[in-house]
Chains A and B, each alone.
Chain A
Amino acid sequence: MGLNREYIGRTWRSAEVYEVSREKIRDYAMATGEPHPAYVDVRAARALGHPDVVAPPTFATVLWARMNTWPLREPDIGRSPKPNMVIGDERITHHRTIHAGDRLVFATRVNDIRDLGGKHELLEVVHTITTEDGEPVCTMTDMAISRGTAVGAEGAR
């Protein structure tokens, strides 16, 4: 088999709201090794014109994991039981900066699933993050490589 093409074009939306907290931003910034004052100190953030501490540029990627990485855990997605997926290419576009206090909703659309011409397949997903009121916040496109799952690949699983 291979990745299930029936997922192409399908969209999943989180029922939950993700509330961005100062402490989560702090933990994330510390983990990246970049304790910029605007991530951890409200006064420093406000001095730069932000309403509260701001999230690092890659912080939005947390939300896919937080929302259970749909569609990767769907039983019929056709992926390998091994952790064989890697992100080969990622685009992040911020429509505005994420900051503490934001209440975000998350949606993922499967844009495409295709063979890469060898053993691997590509899963292209687009994540859309808005506030719960619908204000655009961030768009991310992930090109996930499913290693060894292409139809005909030997020893794929």
Chain B
Amino acid sequence: MTVTSESVAVGTTIPTRTLTITRETVAMFCGAALDFVGPHISERIARSVGLPDVIAHRALITAKALIPVTEWTGDPAAVVACHSRYIRPVAVPDDDLGAVVVITGVVTDRPDDDHVEVSLRMASPDGQELALIRAVVRLP
């Protein structure tokens, strides 16, 4: 779907998406992001620094959170700025499912005719808040 300048206002919600992050996702992102820091590749190292399990990269969390925004606008270049606050680490279990994250978003500001601010919340299926992202999006 594609949003238009006329169809959006403060309070407009973007379609909720449920996405998964598996160990394979994290491994692929290690290579793509050139970030092989221990807690992303080893449960043993993750636990040694007090983390519950292998964790997803922060940039991967933001990238996942922005997927529904990109689907909403139709152009990934529409995201001109984003501010991510990482509330809890996203632990990725070594199983077939991985971490399930639910992304909700709502338009919270319209600074000018061409831009909106979208506030995104990533949470676990049981409602634990994982990350809060505010994105400034250029409208078509």
Interface on A for B, CB 8 Å cutoff?
Answer: 24, 27-28, 30-34, 36, 38-39, 48, 50, 54, 56-58, 61-62, 65-66, 82-94, 97, 147
A33 and B86 contacting across the interface, CB-CB below 8 Å: no
The smallest C-beta distance from A26 to any residue of chain B, in angstroms, reads: 9
Evaluate whether A31 and B25 lie within 8 angstroms (CB atoms) in the complex, with A93-B81, A94-B79 already known: yes
Q: Report Cα–Cα, A91/B132, bound state, in Å.
A: 12
Residues of B within 8 A of A31 (CB): 25, 28-29, 31-33, 60
Q: Report Cα–Cα, A34/B28, bound state, in Å.
A: 13
The answer, among A66, A83, A94, for a CB contact under 8 Å with B45, is A83
Q: Report Cα–Cα, A27/B89, bound state, in Å.
A: 24
Secondary structure call for the A interface: mixed
Extra 13 A-B pairs, beta carbons < 8 Å, given A56-B63, A92-B81, A94-B79: A27-B32, A28-B33, A38-B77, A54-B76, A57-B76, A58-B62, A65-B34, A89-B86, A90-B84, A91-B82, A92-B82, A94-B81, A147-B49
**Interface 9-mer from B8-16, B64-72, B104-112, B122-130:** B64-72
The answer, among A27, A39, A93, for a CB contact under 8 Å with B76, is A39
Residues of A within 8 A of B89 (CB): 86
Q: Please list 16 pairs of residues, one from A and one from B, whose beta carbons are closer than 8 Å in the complex, sorted by A's number.
A: A24-B32, A32-B32, A32-B64, A33-B25, A34-B67, A39-B76, A56-B63, A58-B82, A61-B59, A82-B49, A86-B86, A86-B89, A88-B86, A90-B86, A94-B79, A147-B50
